[in-house]
A and B are shown apart, each in its own frame.
Chain A
Amino acid sequence: MEKITCECGHENPVGTKLCGKCGRPLTEEEKQKKLVDMRYDGIAIRSKTYNKSIIDKIWNFFSSVKVGITLIILNLVAASIGTILPQEFYVSVSSAPEKAKYYEDTYGTFGTLYYNLGLSDLYSSWWFQILVGMLGVSIIVASIDRGLPLHKSLKNQRVKRHSSFMKRQRLVAEGVPTAEQGKTLDLVEKKMKDMKYKVRREGNALLAEKNRFARYGPYINHLGLIIFLGAVMLRLLPGFYIDESTWLREGELRAVPGMEGYFIHNDKFILETYDNEPTEEQLKQGVNVMAKNYQTNVTLYKQQEGDLPGQTDNLKVVDKYEIKVNSPLKHDGYAIYQMDYGLNELKTMKFALTNKTSGDSLGEITIDLSSPETEYILNNDTRVEIVSYLPDFSGFEEGVPQTASPTPNNPAFIFRMYTPEKPEGETSFVAIQQTLEPLGENTYKMSFQGVETRNMSGLTIRKDKTIPFLFIGGMIFMLGVAIGSYWAHRRLWVEELPDGTVRLAAHTNKNWFGMKKEMDAVTAFAHLPAYIDQVEAEKEESKKEGDNTL
């Protein structure tokens, strides 16, 4: 590999801006500058050095900060577009035509356009995911591109730097100490050590440095982000992520979807409301009562070893739980959440087999609406047969009664009643507030006696094995961003020249105000010549600046 040899004899890789040993500027551009570019301590960055093969080109593309920032902005803009109208998963219809209709009905032409462009499901679109992926690649490449050489350079710092490096720092000073000449370096060392700096000396030169680890903050937080994004992708692997939901009626025992071998029994659903008066704002929104608590008391069961799938006669109780919003059931890596509820679903209906003229009853039957019997026997010659059961009766089609769903929202029955008077049986169609006698006038009727209702709980079952990884990624990110934000890498170079003058240069990667305070302290303690801020000095030449107290 080609090298640039500095005047001091040190060999630097191609692309180096400042000599790694003495700090002399190596490029023409750097030589022209009034202040050196200390961003990466003048190291050679791979992407700025090679641009030949296709791999170089791809590498250079993703390592570019300009590309990185562009990707951030593109992600930002794309994400914002997805908030203009509600996304599909917040719309309570399921099929594609229904969705299209929803967007058209609710938002008109714009809604149709939004839907057709796929913006209503933007966050799972291929192009959005590619944008996020490219940002991820950019983070990886840019971090490697800069992080490794920076680490090498910071590790191999020399104490003594060339005057061209020192003079081009932002904070500089040169002159004869006002007192205790000759002891300057000792005094500086003492004061800097008091201020928690690490001090190294080499002959007549001194380097005081602190918080070097702050330079690693950005690379640590990028690592955290990569782990986080990686963990999000883990979800695609089978077994890492389960998201199921189920309706569980009171008193019902059901296999837990997605949670093999487990059964759950709904002991009771509880809805509590506040008894206070609703506020004006709530009334405006049509809220009359405010919910205080949604809770499902459940018993979780587990099958024993060797049980067949679906076998429920040999279950072992795991535990009883109260599932509330904000307090899910947690077991074996699974969590069961209280998400929804339905009140007063019909559970049973009670009918009396009644003589239409006398009103005498031959007996009552109670029909369990989730699993009705085919026949209810009252005595030897009296029985009721259910010819047809329509849990959610929606009308007749070509004379045949239809059901809209298997949920007993609007139950209807075709009964065949066998009585001592009519041993051959009579047929009756019974729905809520509607009775038909399709095969002629009957003697008996099924008279409605009452219903029993029950509540049901909408539960969501989740397993997310990616969460520990996400958490680790998040913590590493926070650690990195805190290190990078709350600590500053500060360095002070001092050289005592043979004629008794002292040359100083100081650098910090941020918070110059804090650096200057420490410079003030060491200047006073070691009687150093006053330093100047070359950035402010430059500005002041063109325009008179105000004082620091304002």
Chain B
Amino acid sequence: MSLIDLSGNLLFVAFICYLIGTFLFGGAIKEKEDTAAKRADKWGKIAISITIVGFLAQLGYFITRWIYTGHAPVSNMFEFTTAFGMFIILSFIIIYFMYRVTALGVVALPIALLIIAYASMFTKDVSPLVPSLQSYWLTIHVITAALGQSILSMSAVAGLIYLLKNVDAKKATKERFWLEAVMFFCVLVIGFVVATTAFRAAGYEASFEHVTQEGKTEVVEYHMPAIFGPNDYVALSEDRMTPFVEVPALFDASKMTTVVWSILFGSVLYVLIRLIARRSVTAMIQPLLKRVNSQLMDEIGYRAVLIGFPVFTLGALIFAMIWAQIAWSRFWGWDPKEVWALITWLFYAAFLHLRLSKGWEGKKSAWLTVIGFLIIMFNLVVVNLVIAGLHSYA
């Protein structure tokens, strides 16, 4: 087995461990009053052990891939996103041993699973580094920034648990709607993974010749049936679905197709869940978290921001500026990724001020942590894939 195969297998092992860990954490907080403490203790111990095994396996993936590629494996969408998932698990383990709260695992692990599954939809090809990335600052800047983001994400985990427990799933309120919307969004990510995997398994391929914004003729390959066709396209593959709409060259028809398929698959999945369970996703999860200590959850959410904020500042702003000064000759250039790192930073600064001076605790604070996580995900997904800039990955 070559090093890169070993690396891939270790990642797979980690994924399976996190999956098992999720159910074990679920078992640990089951709602049987009488044996609850014992159960939490016993199942909780097994659950965190499996999680640590998974983390070590993923660390093994990270190190073997590092050795194989010769640089820290954080240089493209697959590598970075996977590492982000790994750091979320690491942050969870740290917070777990600080507070010994098993309920965190029920949310933290699925989020890490979704992120790693999302990452694996991108190409896993090993590619050498372009000159601008050839620096030890790649390792320092990206790893610190990802670690900061993942600790901040743990606050959203605590916030989500707080909301899932405290938002009344029986009353039709705005809060309930938005919480269910967050759940729906998670199902959409599963939709993306399912759609990508299904079409890939079926070996779907269709090529189109099209005219780009610059007037050049290029060929684009779709791996999903084309809902949107590129500008002035000519279908090159036979017996393939004809696009419903042709979009101007400004838009990436292939990415739009992926988004729509993900929404379709996700929505169908969501409707199926609703039909089978006859309850909202919020209402399904709520009983699991009935005995969670809200006060403690609120404190963990705040603490995670306090721990993560300095790390994020250091990695995503200060180290970023130092490297930008070396590589691009200026420490700050209003590149979209830079701006969104600043926005994330400003957002958590606002969070801290609201909490300290305006006394925003409980639900308000929990919602803010969830919004913060959405900003982090926006910076990871949309800024890299949609907004053009110096940080755009493949």
Binding site for B on A (CB under 8 A): 39, 65-66, 68-69, 72-73, 75-76, 79-80, 82-84, 86-87, 89-90, 106-108, 123, 243, 274, 276, 279-282, 284-286, 290-294, 324-328, 335, 337, 339, 460, 462, 464, 467, 470, 474, 477-478, 481-482, 485-486, 510-513, 535-536, 539, 545-550
Contacts and interface: CB of A to CB of B under 8 A. Distances in A.
Contacts of B389: 83, 86, 90
A58 to B, nearest CB: 20
B291 interface: yes
B99 to A, nearest CB: 7
A546 B291 contact: yes
Contacts of B329: 328, 335, 337, 339, 460, 462
B343 A79 contact: yes
Contact of B218 (A76, A276, A286, A545): A286
A313 to B, nearest CB: 32
Q: Would you list the 6 A-B pairs with minimal beta carbon distance, nearest first? A: A546-B291, A65-B357, A325-B131, A281-B394, A279-B125, A337-B329
A339 B331 CA distance: 15
B310 A485 contact: yes
B283 interface: no
B363 interface: no
Nearest to B305: A485
B387 to A, nearest CB: 6
Given A549-B40, A550-B29, A293 B131 contact: yes
Contacts of B357: 39, 65, 69
A327 B394 CA distance: 25
Contacts of A467: 325, 331
Nearest to B317: A474
Given A328-B326, A335-B329, A548 B296 contact: yes
Contact of A548 (B293, B302, B333): B293
Contacts of A282: 127, 394
B278 interface: no
13 contacts: A76-B346, A79-B346, A86-B389, A279-B127, A281-B394, A282-B394, A290-B127, A485-B306, A485-B310, A510-B302, A546-B290, A546-B294, A547-B36
B213 interface: yes
B274 interface: no
A326 B40 contact: no
Contacts, number: 170
B295 A545 contact: yes
Contacts of A72: 346, 349-350, 353
Q: Which of B131, B250, B314, B394 has the most CB of A within 10 A?
A: B131
A12 to B, nearest CB: 22
Contact of A536 (B37, B101, B103, B295): B295
B71 interface: no
B134 interface: yes
Contact of B100 (A327, A464, A482, A549): A549
A290 B128 contact: yes
Nearest to B100: A549
Contact of A545 (B220, B294, B314, B335): B294
A305 B253 CA distance: 63
A325 B132 contact: yes
A512 B306 CA distance: 13
Given A80-B339, A80-B340, A123-B334, 9 more contacts: A79-B339, A86-B388, A86-B389, A276-B128, A286-B218, A327-B326, A462-B330, A478-B310, A548-B293
- The dominant DSSP class at the B interface is helix
A326 B326 contact: yes
A82 B131 contact: no
A291 B321 CA distance: 24
Interface in B96-118: 99-103
B60 interface: no
A403 B343 CA distance: 48
Contacts of A75: 346
A284 B250 contact: no
B8 interface: no
Contacts of B40: 549-550
B221 A284 contact: yes
A83 B127 contact: no
B131 A478 contact: no
B342 interface: yes
Nearest to A271: B131
A327 B329 CA distance: 10
B217 to A, nearest CB: 11
B130 A76 contact: no
Contact of A326 (B125, B134, B306, B335): B134
Nearest to A286: B218
Contacts of B135: 326
B318 A513 contact: no
A482 B186 CA distance: 33
B313 A292 contact: no
Nearest to B166: A543
B134 A325 contact: yes
A149 to B, nearest CB: 15
Contacts of B350: 69, 72-73, 76
Q: Which of A68, A474, A535 has the most CB of B within 10 A?
A: A474
A291 B37 CA distance: 59
Contact of A549 (B37, B128, B221): B37
